[in-house]
């Protein structure tokens, strides 16, 4: 069995869930933080994974992604720091009585605060385990199109939806990206807590939680922040599989330090 170990945040969401399933099928050891552990295990069993696979390869940590102790337990399954972190955290849209901002989010700073929590947890782990100097993990986060500083990555027909209706969720994603970018910009390599970061900006997500229902990661249009792939939608299972194939399996390959835009 490979020594790769992957920690997941937001694994009951369709994108990260698909990455988790592919990681289990590849034989990797996986830990996942879940607010409702039974929700995650039911999703996995419903996709045909066996209970023995879950018992052998999966550690589910009951907790919250903004709690440092819960995050540390997820990053240190069996006492050893994981080699990859996948974050697909997000809030749920909530309607509100406002003409200017009719849509908000039940958890408007979950992405930014969990990014800070992961860094704090890693800092404490490195301090507490300084004697063994654990290898730094690579982090991949799932973000969104519509927040780029580069060329337009949202098709014309979706710009109102993106820039007005989804403004609250997008502000959180911007902050998360900025926290991680600033951390990795530290010129002192020893002070960086991650060996690399890969950003994934997906277009509007479709589909649910079932890795078997995508069209396949190789059907996706893939761009970068500088040359984005522009499209309307992308299926969650395909985003998750792309992350598995291009980031987890290949140790990020050419994507390290970059942002991928994914659409179908
Ligand atoms: N909707 C779109 O069209 C779209 C487009 C581009 C990008 N995105 C972003 O892409 C990412 C992945 O989306 P998705 O649809 O695959 O997943 P999702 O349905 O948004 O799932 C969000 C995940 O975050 C977890 N979560 C939220 N708050 C938490 C907390 N405090 N502690 C622990 N877990 C928490 C949820 O757990 P529970 O099961 O406990 O709720 C769930 O697993 C999200 O960030 C989403 O905003 C969305």
Structure tokens at 117: 């929590």
Model confidence at 197, pLDDT cuts 50, 70, 90, reads very high
Task: Please give the torsion angle defined by the CA atoms of residues 150, 153, 154 and 156, in that order, rounded to the nearest 10 degrees.
Answer: 80
**Ligand 1, from 38, 88, 172: best to mutate by most atoms within 8 Å of Cβ?**
88
- What secondary structure does DSSP assign to 146-170, as a single string? T--SSS--S-GGGHHIIIIITHHHH
User: What CATH number is attached to the domain comprising 34?
Assistant: 3.40.50.720
Q: Is pLDDT at 1 greater than 60 in this prediction?
A: no
State the total domains in the chain: 1
| Range in 55-64, 165-174, 243-252 with the lowest mean pLDDT | 165-174
Number of other CB atoms surrounding residue 186 within 10 Å: 11
| 3-state secondary structure at position 58 | strand
Q: Which helix (H) or strand (E) holds 105?
A: strand 103-105
**Mean pLDDT on 95-115:** 88
Q: How far apart are CA 84 and CA 118, in angstroms?
A: 12
In the predicted model, what is the mean pLDDT of the chain? 95
| 3-state secondary structure at position 237 | helix
Q: How far apart are CA 9 and CA 90, in angstroms?
A: 10
User: What is the DSSP code (8-state) at residue 110?
Assistant: H
The per-residue pLDDT for 2 is: 46
Q: Is pLDDT at 95 greater than 60 in this prediction?
A: yes
The per-residue pLDDT for 134 is: 87
* Domain housing 65: 5-263
**Ligand 1, from 7, 11, 13: best to mutate by most atoms within 8 Å of Cβ?**
13
Q: How far apart are CA 251 and CA 264, in angstroms?
A: 24
The per-residue pLDDT for 161 is: 84
Q: Which tens digits make up the pLDDT trace of 18-48?
A: 999 999 999 999 999 999 999 999 999 999 9
Max Cα-Cα span within the chain: 56
**Mean pLDDT on 61-71:** 98
**Ligand 1, from 105, 205, 244: best to mutate by most atoms within 8 Å of Cβ?**
205
Length of the chain in terms of residues written: 264
- Of all atoms in ligand 1, which is nearest to the CA of residue 16? 16
Q: Which tens digits make up the pLDDT trace of 200-234?
A: 999 999 999 999 999 999 999 999 999 999 999 99
Q: How far apart are CA 68 and CA 73, in angstroms?
A: 9
Which residues' Cβ are closer than 6 Å to ligand 1?
A: 10-16, 33, 35-36, 39, 64-66, 88-90, 107, 110, 142, 144, 169, 202, 204-205, 236
Ligand 1 centre from 66 Cα, in Å? 14
């Amino acid at each position: 069995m490979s020594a790769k170990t992957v920690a997941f945040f937001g694994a009951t969401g369709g994108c990260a869930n698909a990455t988790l399933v592919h990681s289990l099928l590849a034989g990797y050891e996986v830990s996942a933080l879940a607010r409702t552990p039974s929700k995650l295990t039911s999703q996995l069993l419903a996709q045909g994974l066996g209970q023995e696979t879950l018992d052998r390869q999966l550690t589910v940590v009951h907790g919250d992604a903004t709690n440092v102790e819960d995050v540390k337990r997820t990053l240190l399954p069996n006492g050893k720091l994981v080699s990859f972190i996948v974050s697909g955290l997000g809030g749920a849209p909530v309607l509100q009585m406002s003409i200017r901002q009719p849509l908000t989010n039940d958890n408007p700073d979950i992405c930014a605060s969990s990014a800070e929590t992961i860094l704090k947890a890693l800092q404490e782990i490195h301090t507490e385990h300084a004697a063994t100097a654990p290898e730094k993990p690579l982090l991949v986060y799932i973000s969104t199109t519509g927040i780029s500083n580069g060329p337009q990555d949202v098709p014309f027909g979706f710009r109102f939806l993106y820039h007005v209706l989804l403004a609250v969720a997008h502000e959180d994603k911007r902050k998360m990206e900025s926290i991680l970018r600033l951390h990795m910009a530290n010129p002192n390599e020893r002070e960086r807590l991650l060996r690399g970061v890969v950003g994934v900006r997906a277009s509007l997500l479709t589909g649910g939680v079932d890795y078997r229902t995508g069209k396949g990661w190789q059907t996706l249009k893939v761009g970068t922040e500088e040359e984005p792939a522009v499209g309307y939608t992308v299926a969650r299972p395909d985003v998750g599989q792309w992350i598995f194939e291009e980031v987890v399996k290949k140790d990020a390959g050419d994507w390290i330090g970059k942002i991928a835009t994914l659409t179908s």
